[in-house]
Structure 1
């Protein structure tokens, strides 16, 4: 994983070690060393699973649910309760009330602010005027909860003073400095953009997306520059995939090389067929899949995961199935359980067992216990059910 800041970057190795490279004016590389543009600097952080950069400040999330911050801190973006820069070593970020009740899902850095998204859909912020305190626009020096819930994903960028989130209904919200105005609380965007890139283009001062996108998983396959010309090219195709009133153009020869399913499809009686009618999948999902076969890139979202995992299963595409598993594991929580549990059961995703156990013990059972304490009728019904199960 690589995170980019202003004139520097962080690099996360697979073993959880964090390295840095570039400008070190504010200690964003850690240590008292000078800027390093040729040799990576070991930050001393280990067991890290997510890294993020603001303009000149750095963030890291450990696999034990702890956040470290270091670098520039003029606006309190490090969440340390003050405005002192941290130039020597990363410092542990403390949340209000000592602890939080949910694992941390993601961390992101804006120009002079930081955002922390929890698995339960709550989101905290600190730094330059990203919200309100006592009805006033203020910088916040410790992580403070934002007035929005059921958040699935969050995005901001080291060069921007606004932030974006997407909730469970796939609605996008923005707050911060937008087109010369300051939005003190999240405002829902109209027209329901399809990605963070589209949302940022709606609110930025120009059409530049600044690299803000939805999560994109990349397959390390072939060189996409060699094959993109074979995809949906009206000057170079020999088969049409017809979906409703739309069509996708492709090369049978290339598809046969890409996947055994297409090799079987375009053989025998189908060898001379030039049109394939697709009835079980939407145009957008099928287009996304075929494009992945040509580019090695795919964008999986909650809105297309059901169709994509079914495609992976029906077409026996192990690469796509592996990626769908990764997406589900990353986004599985008590709020999305109703969406992903049927998929886990249907496609026998047995590697999700540990995640389901963790979710049940840490989130579902405590709430179930509270419900039982508050309602005597519920406890009676539960014990009857338990007794019947035990007697089987």
Structure 2
């Protein structure tokens, strides 16, 4: 499994004045692009919704009459619909209808763990490491109730690591199951755990009030405000002052005298909220996640899924080559495709732009970045203009500015004029003036459009470029 590089042995703990929001909080539908796929009539009926997945491209919601629906990308069957087809139309989950949803957690395997208000637990999705808690390693495309060792227990909170699961009961007990290569189930060994078992050790006589999972670690807050952690610690995410793994629960000594109310985990970092409204953060910081203003964009978190034939449900055919993409993502991220894609589309033949341009555009939808030479960025700027992607236009202009040289300056200037990119046009013009002798000797200048040449000479004359 891929992990972020470990930091120094000494864990840096920072106090941040902010408000910690639970990762499992039911969300305001108006803030999430996935709901643009629903009609206004459907949106009016939503009483409760939980957006999940690696990039918020899956949603489970309940209506006013307790019907449960899912929508979005369906990686490894994480929608629970009985198949692996992504959907842009809401699909009903019959097995959960009539049950009031209390909480839901998503593991990046991917798998889903859900608890009802009655305390029942349902799981579905990927199960190669028994993270569904049903005693097998068989994947499940439908929600199935987990009952082993949870009979007569009311589950009030759930949490998922990448391939392990954890639940909290109303009497303050913690149960875990699934992948355990780093001790993340807290059993004291590294053997996988196929069914729920209570976490004891230091938690044996303590009442837990909150739980959370990182990718391969687990955490619990007890009623007196202490925090106990276990599992993988290569990035210092356990906050123990070292980077060694921890196979059983261990109290964070650095928080001595601080009363914690809630804990939340990222991929390899941790946040806790104290009773005084302060946040402590520790662990990996490669994306600035320990600072309040920096964040990893939603699109960047989808990067691994780009051009993946195993999960994609649509192919772009460009210049005889295929690019694998997700239809749902195109509809969420691009107004142009939202209006032209049909549910039965499997292959879309594109011919207006070149293969490098289309591939760069699709990669941009996944990563929010572009990687291509400035000459190809001209074509991408054309596409961005046509598709009305204003942010992409700005990125193209930045790429062109960074890649401009004497040989391509005239071509880039021509593109800026053509696409009415005034800031870029002025930049290219200034570059040409500052390198006028070399630029006027290039092939691009010799083949310059007559009207553009006349305007260039006129403007250059006005700024004194031809003075002796």
TM-score (norm 2): 0.40
TM-score (norm 1): 0.47
